[in-house]
């Protein structure tokens, strides 16, 4: 028994922070007994279906929708011409350079299409079925234009143009030079004097966020007010942007994100269909709904990654790094969406990783192609940077004949050096790379696996073993508003919260950080339970409706707990401060003599005299007896804007078996130790790490969006866009070290993206480590068995994959090559 318990006579409540609470939202999310946008049914609601371009680049020469207009159940059919005057441009909020070229992004194409799947007409009908049936009755003529797909060709002089009104396919040229910024030395000098320079070209393939719940939008007009429900990560940002695009005054537009089934950055967007729903609801004065199919989602929701990285590293013979130079080509796709140009630019600051580079230069060209735009995808810029630095460190180790961990150790920031300002100008907050690494090596069983690797090499085993390392850090907790401003980002990064104390002592927490599956309701309840000393079950978390939670900047960039959770804690502090005055009044004591613990104010030195904060809530609701000169309320709100990012770090280790006969790679063991600062809920953290690892491993081994030579998305279904399941992934051995983040009251650093950022290079490094003695120095992601086999037996990096879709399924291929609807196939019939 502690002294405190002795004094009060009741056991102190268990701390909620650190408890592996099961998520309170899961029962309804998993059983589907909740409101998803597509569940929403309104009286008189009409349904939309989008007619999409089947070609990647063309002028629209004729649009005939007359047959569709006559179809049963069809109320209206709109083309780009119908909205040409009022649709404006979808917003791009991140002009990374002052002279960035933005061609504008219509929600519906008017006279030119620039990627397959772009909207060209909209059917509005009384049922979803009627709308879909009428899509096939539209007749649109296209005059084909040359298709621009390859970035390296697109930036050549005289290349075909995506937007022929522009001078080139380059949107911007962004440079960060440490020498010029005063955060490092001269890069050219560093390279010219170096003993060793290693240069590599890495390809970050295009990925599809592939969130579980497809996008869905409902808009209800009521007089001059509009309510939009959307499966979005960012209802607050969407409201501001949609108001600006459509001219609907912001105070006349309410945006609601009900429960949202995942996003991974894919729903950090202002989508064409969201704007189109608003425009059509305004024109018809009727509620409308659009819900995408999975095919539409893969084809038209924004993609991620898609960069070519040219990386040079300079070092001396002893393995001290001297300089880093990065040149990127970043595929924007056909248009700039919300933060398209900013994703590679955000990564610029992470290429130096955890290492003490004296010199660094980063350049990036944003390039237009005839593909769907890229934008945020879990990690957004930082996975690409981490991959590049962790891959090139291995290459440098090979060049120097040095153990890759030894090379890292020689160059990383020592625990005693924190806070440490890097060559990219970031002030890393806290951490200890050595301790995390030691723990990870033990979790993996590093020495035994190295011994087995040696045995397999000596016996020339057809299955070779490799170990890959990724010692990573990332910048997250996307906030500092001033810093985001200095990066030309269009918004701040603060977060807002308010706490409402209800008469019965229950607590409503309003958060501006809108969840889409992360478990905010559980974690915020734990924070508030500890702060206010109320039961976990007595806390309800409200979110996602701009009328309920008017201020917020939503969920992305591993920011929710770090920024949004901190706002909740700050609001709770204000509630306690306000309650303290009431308590002092009711207990007839001085505020200074009050202790607040376990939810109760007690008077120091007066055992038994106390009042709980829940009792105060009732007292102030009645408001019969409260001090003069204050308002009768203990509700409070707070806005939190940290002064720095937070910097989770960790060591990820992957042991990989490579079957040299077939090229099949199999993860034998995966161990990681992450430092994400204070852990509020270990179960949620474990889930985030597992999910992140799955997505990072998926980039390394499985996922790739492939376009054919005409710009059709070959990987248009989950038959060809390969998302791994639990059956394909190994057991994960995870651990944590805890160095609290100094920049927020919780001490949390953010965990949402860590696994995804760290794992990809560990996996690729492991595969290369297994076969490097066979002459392999690179294999392109994803490491398909075919690529691995070719790299081993034919040299090179495994090369391009065939662009044709799988022959399985009898129909998953593009329509032109599918066998199902042919005469021959109809003979078989039985399926």
Partner 1 sequence: MIPAPFAYARPTTVDEALQALAAGGEDVKVMAGGQSLIPVMRLRLAAPETVVDLSKVEGLRGVRDDGDAIVIGAMTTHSDVLSDPLIAEHAPLIAEATGTVADRQVRHRGTFGGALVHADPAGDLPAVALALDAEFVVVGPSGQRTVPASEFFVDYLTTAVGEGELLVEVRVPKLAGEWGMRYEKFNRVAQAWSIVAVAAVVRRENGRIAEARIGLTNMGPTPLRARAVEEALAGAEATPDAVGAAAARAAEGTEPSSDLNAQADYRQHLATVLTRRAVSAAAGL
For partner 1, the binding residues (CB under 8 A) are 128-129, 132-133, 136, 293-295, 661-662, 664, 702, 706, 714-715, 717, 719-720, 722, 724-725, 727-728, 784-786, 789-790, 801-812, 815, 818-821, 824-831
Task: Tell me how far, at minimum, the Cβ of 716 lies from partner 1, in Å.
Answer: 9
- 254 or 790, CB closer to partner 1? 790
- 256 or 713, CB closer to partner 1? 713
Burial class (CB in 10 A: 0-12, 13-18, 19+), 826: exposed
- 72 or 247, CB closer to partner 1? 72
- 86 or 136, CB closer to partner 1? 136
- 46 or 354, CB closer to partner 1? 46
Q: Which long-range contacts (CB under 8 A, 24 or more apart) does 585-592 make?
A: 585/625, 585/626, 585/627, 586/611, 586/616, 586/619, 586/625, 587/611
Instruction: Specify the pairing of strand 170-177 against strand 74-79.
Output: unpaired
How many whole angstroms separate alpha carbon 706 and alpha carbon 714? Answer: 6
The sheet with strand 288-291 has its strands ordered as 74-79, 119-125, 46-52, 288-291, 216-222, 225-230, 253-256
- 486 or 826, CB closer to partner 1? 826
CB 552 within 8 A of CB 637: no
Question: In which element (H, E) is residue 385 found?
Answer: helix 382-400
- 1 or 727, CB closer to partner 1? 727
How many whole angstroms separate alpha carbon 409 and alpha carbon 419? Answer: 18
Task: Tell me how far, at minimum, the Cβ of 724 lies from partner 1, in Å.
Answer: 5
- 159 or 719, CB closer to partner 1? 719
- 301 or 478, CB closer to partner 1? 301
Calculate ∠ Cα 313-319-325, nearest 5°. Answer: 10
Task: Tell me how far, at minimum, the Cβ of 798 lies from partner 1, in Å.
Answer: 11
Strands (DSSP E) contained in 676-737 are 732-737
- 659 or 675, CB closer to partner 1? 659
- Please provide the distance, in angstroms rounded to a whole number, between the alpha carbons at the two ends of the chain: 69
Task: Tell me how far, at minimum, the Cβ of 829 lies from partner 1, in Å.
Answer: 5
Structure-derived torsion over alpha carbons of residues 780, 781, 783, 787, reported in degrees to the nearest 10? -40
- 403 or 661, CB closer to partner 1? 661
Task: Tell me how far, at minimum, the Cβ of 375 lies from partner 1, in Å.
Answer: 24
How many whole angstroms separate alpha carbon 510 and alpha carbon 541? Answer: 6
CB 755 within 8 A of CB 672: yes
Q: Is 778 helix (H, G, I), strand (E, B) or coil?
A: coil
Alpha helices in 563-631 (DSSP H): 566-587, 613-622
Using CA atoms, how far residue 181 sits from 91, 186, 422, 727, in Å, is 30, 10, 12, 48
Calculate ∠ Cα 726-730-733, nearest 5°. Answer: 120
Work out the number of other CB atoms within 10 angstroms of the CB of residue 622: 10
Both tokens assigned to 807: 């022959």
Task: Tell me how far, at minimum, the Cβ of 811 lies from partner 1, in Å.
Answer: 4
């Amino acid at each position: 028994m502690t002294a405190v318990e002795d004094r009060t006579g009741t056991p102190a409540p268990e701390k909620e922070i650190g408890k592996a609470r099961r998520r309170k939202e899961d029962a309804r999310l998993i059983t589907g007994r909740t409101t998803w946008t597509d569940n929403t049914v309104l009286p008189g609601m009409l349904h939309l279906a989008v007619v999409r371009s089947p070609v990647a680049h063309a002028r629209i020469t004729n649009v005939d929708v007359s047959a569709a207009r006559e179809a049963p159940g069809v109320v209206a059919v709109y083309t780009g011409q119908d909205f040409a005057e009022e649709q404006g441009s979808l917003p791009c909020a991140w002009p990374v350079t002052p002279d960035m070229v933005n061609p504008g992004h219509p929600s519906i194409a008017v006279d030119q299409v620039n990627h397959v799947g772009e909207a060209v007409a909209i059917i509005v009908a009384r049922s979803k079925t009627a709308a879909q049936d009428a899509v096939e009755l539209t007749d649109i003529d296209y005059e084909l234009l040359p298709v621009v797909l390859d970035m390296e060709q697109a930036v050549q002089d005289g290349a075909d143009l995506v937007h022929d009104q522009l001078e080139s396919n380059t949107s911007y040229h962004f440079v960060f030079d440490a020498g010029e910024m005063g955060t490092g030395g001269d890069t050219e000098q560093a390279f010219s004097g170096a003993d060793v320079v290693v240069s590599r070209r890495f390809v970050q393939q295009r990925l599809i966020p592939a969130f579980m719940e497809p996008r869905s939008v409902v808009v209800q007009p009521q007089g001059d007010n509009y309510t939009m429900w959307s499966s979005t990560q960012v209802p607050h940002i969407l409201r501001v942007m949609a108001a600006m695009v459509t001219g609907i005054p912001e105070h006349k537009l309410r945006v609601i994100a009900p429960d949202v089934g995942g996003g991974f950055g894919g729903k950090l967007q202002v989508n064409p269909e969201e704007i189109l729903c608003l425009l059509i609801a305004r024109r018809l004065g009727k509620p409308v709904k659009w819900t995408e199919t999975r095919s539409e989602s893969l084809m038209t929701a924004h993609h991620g990654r898609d960069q070519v990285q040219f990386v040079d590293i300079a070092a001396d013979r002893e393995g001290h790094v001297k300089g880093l130079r990065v040149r990127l080509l970043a595929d924007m796709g056909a248009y700039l969406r919300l933060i398209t140009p900013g994703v590679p630019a955000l990564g610029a600051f992470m290429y130096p990783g955890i290492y003490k580079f004296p010199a660094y230069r980063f350049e990036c060209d944003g390039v237009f192609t005839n593909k769907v735009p890229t934008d945020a995808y879990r990690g957004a810029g930082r996975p690409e940077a981490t991959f590049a630095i962790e891959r090139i460190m291995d290459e440098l180790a090979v060049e120097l004949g040095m153990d890759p961990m030894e090379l890292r150790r020689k160059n990383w920031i020592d625990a005693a050096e924190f806070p440490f300002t890097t060559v990219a100008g970031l002030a890393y907050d806290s951490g200890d790379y050595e301790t995390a690494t030691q723990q990870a090596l033990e979790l993996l069983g590093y020495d035994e696996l190295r011994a087995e690797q040696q045995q397999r090499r000596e016996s020339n085993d057809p299955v070779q073993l490799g170990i890959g390392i990724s010692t990573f850090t990332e910048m997250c907790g996307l906030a500092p508003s001033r810093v985001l401003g200095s990066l030309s980002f269009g918004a701040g990064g603060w977060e807002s919260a308010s706490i409402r104390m209800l008469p019965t002592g229950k607590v409503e927490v309003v958060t501006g950080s809108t969840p889409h599956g992360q478990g905010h309701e559980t974690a915020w309840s734990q924070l508030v339970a500890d702060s206010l000393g109320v039961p976990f079950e007595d806390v309800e978390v409200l979110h996602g409706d701009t009328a309920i939670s008017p201020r917020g900047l939503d969920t992305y960039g591993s920011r929710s707990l770090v920024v949004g959770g901190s706002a909740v804690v700050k609001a709770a502090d204000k509630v306690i401060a306000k309650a303290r005055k009431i308590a002092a009044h009711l207990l007839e004591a001085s505020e200074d003599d009050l202790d607040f613990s376990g939810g109760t104010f007690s008077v120091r030195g007066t055992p038994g005299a106390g009042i709980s904060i829940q009792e105060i809530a009732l007292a102030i609701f009645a408001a019969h007896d409260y001090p003069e000169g204050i308002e009768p309320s203990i509700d409070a709100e707070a806005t939190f804007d940290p002064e720095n990012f937070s910097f989770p770090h960790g060591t990820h280790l992957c042991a990989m078996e490579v079957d040299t006969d077939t090229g099949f790679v199999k993860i034998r063991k995966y161990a990681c130790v992450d430092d994400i600062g204070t852990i509020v809920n270990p179960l949620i953290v474990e889930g985030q790490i597992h999910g992140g690892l799955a997505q990072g491993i998926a980039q390394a081994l499985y996922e790739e969006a492939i376009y054919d030579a005409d710009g059709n998305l070959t990987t248009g279904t989950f038959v060809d866009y390969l998302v791994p399941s639990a059956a394909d992934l190994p057991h994960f051995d995870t651990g944590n070290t805890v160095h609290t983040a100094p920049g927020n009251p919780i001490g949390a650093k953010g965990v949402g993206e860590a696994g995804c950022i760290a794992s990809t290079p560990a996996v690729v490094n492991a595969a290369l480590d297994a076969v490097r003695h066979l002459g392999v120095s690179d294999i392109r992601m994803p490491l398909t068995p075919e690529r691995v086999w070719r790299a081993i037996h034919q040299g090179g990096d495994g090369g391009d994959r065939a662009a044709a879709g799988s022959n399985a399924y009898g129909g998953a291929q593009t329509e032109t090559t599918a066998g199902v609807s042919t005469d021959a196939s109809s003979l078989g019939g039985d399926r």
